[in-house]
Amino acid sequence: MKLRHYFYGFLVALVIVLATNYLLTANANIPLFSNSVIDNSVAQVPNNPKFAIPLKCQLDKDCFILLYSDRDPSPKAVDFGCGRQTYDGHKGTDFAISDQKIMAQGVPVTAVAPGKVLRARDGVPDRLIKNQADKDTVKNIECGNGIVIDHGNGWETQYCHLRNGSVVVKPGTVVETGTQLGMVGTSGLASFPHVHLGFRYQGEIVDPFIGPNVGSGCNNTRHSIWEQPLSYKPTGLIRSGFATTQPNMDDLWSGKFYDTVLSANSPILIFWVQIYGVLAGDREHYQLFAPNGDRVIDNTREIKSPNKTSIGYVGKRNSSQSLPQGKWRGEYSLTRDGKVLVNVSKEVQWIINN
């Protein structure tokens, strides 16, 4: 078959991985979270309170926990599952959404229990912090647009990085579980769209997966304070798709490459995945299938070093329009110790559109 021969003659496959550990979110000593006087008019949570998640989304589908609290008091960092999805001094849980396109549509941040708003800030612009200069611009406002709620009985929660202009409560507002506070954003010290949720009990930071009054380290007995069972999921998919240029982290966090139809005049067809929590030794498998079902890329690679977030992709050059029009399919899997942790299948229409 002539077409087929011609087609394979121009095969160029590439696997490129971009990775970064430069993930930022609110850190220690956030001014918003100062000590408060317990207000007896506040609805009191019970002695062993349970808390909802702080945003309206389906966890592990529309949103995911990207970073946990740091449980290592030294300059090293460890999460409660003895993994590395945290960084030194991180004092909260980061519930992320995939990108700023979804952020612009609006994902509500909600109260995790009944209580009364103690402090609220709005007016800090949304941006993605990428370097030290960016970081300097949010000095002392690391939490960005944030809210602190007093739940009574010694419990407080703090919500950070809300979208500029989205905060709909003020000090004194009484809230119930699920009351909207604002929208997920990227204000303050944030390098990806998320809400940072911090817990305090009697002035002490609490890791919600472990519960109050527990020492540091990651081998503690867990007394979760979540009202729903939340599993430890340190590795997962953020998003996947197709592109006609090589994607980078900024592109993906900002919400590019949602296209389901791409021009067959483009110089290259790329299938990409954005993943969190890869570890050295993980195996990635990339496949790309032509419209006739032929597998034209079949690449396996082993992850060499761990990364909190990473992008991987494969692509085929479209020299002289060698790639046939039609429905292309990309498949990806990430396997650790023989167990498949991520499995993706995605299609795109590749057509000449005049």
User: Which residues are at the interface with Zn ion (CB under 5 A)?
Assistant: 25-26, 92, 94, 196
Q: Are strands 180-183 and 174-175 parallel, antiparallel or unpaired?
A: unpaired
Considering the complex, state which of residue 186 and residue 318 has its C-beta at the smaller distance from Zn ion: 186
Which runs of E-coded beta strand occur in the chain? 13-20, 63-67, 93-97, 108-110, 115-120, 145-152, 155-162, 174-175, 180-183, 194-201, 204-206, 236-243, 261-263, 268-278, 283-289, 295-302, 307-317, 326-336, 339-351
What's the CA gap between 314 and 242, in Å, rounded? Answer: 10
> Least separation, in Å, of the C-beta of 91 and Zn ion?
8
> Least separation, in Å, of the C-beta of 309 and Zn ion?
14
> Least separation, in Å, of the C-beta of 30 and Zn ion?
10
What's the CA gap between 30 and 48, in Å, rounded? Answer: 26
Closest CA to 26 of 141, 112, 117: 141
> Least separation, in Å, of the C-beta of 318 and Zn ion?
41
Considering the complex, state which of residue 138 and residue 288 has its C-beta at the smaller distance from Zn ion: 138
Cβ contacts of residue 123 below 8 Å, gap of 6+? 145, 164, 165
Considering the complex, state which of residue 79 and residue 94 has its C-beta at the smaller distance from Zn ion: 94
Considering the complex, state which of residue 146 and residue 241 has its C-beta at the smaller distance from Zn ion: 146
Residues 271, 296: contact at Cβ < 8 Å? no
Considering the complex, state which of residue 25 and residue 179 has its C-beta at the smaller distance from Zn ion: 25
Considering the complex, state which of residue 70 and residue 331 has its C-beta at the smaller distance from Zn ion: 70
The total of other beta-carbon atoms located within 10 Å of residue 339's CB is 7
Considering the complex, state which of residue 26 and residue 243 has its C-beta at the smaller distance from Zn ion: 26
What's the CA gap between 36 and 118, in Å, rounded? Answer: 8
> Least separation, in Å, of the C-beta of 286 and Zn ion?
31
> Least separation, in Å, of the C-beta of 69 and Zn ion?
9
Which residue type occupies 336?
Answer: R
The total of other beta-carbon atoms located within 10 Å of residue 259's CB is 13
Residues 226, 51: contact at Cβ < 8 Å? yes
Residue whose Cβ sits closest to Zn ion: 25
> Least separation, in Å, of the C-beta of 188 and Zn ion?
10
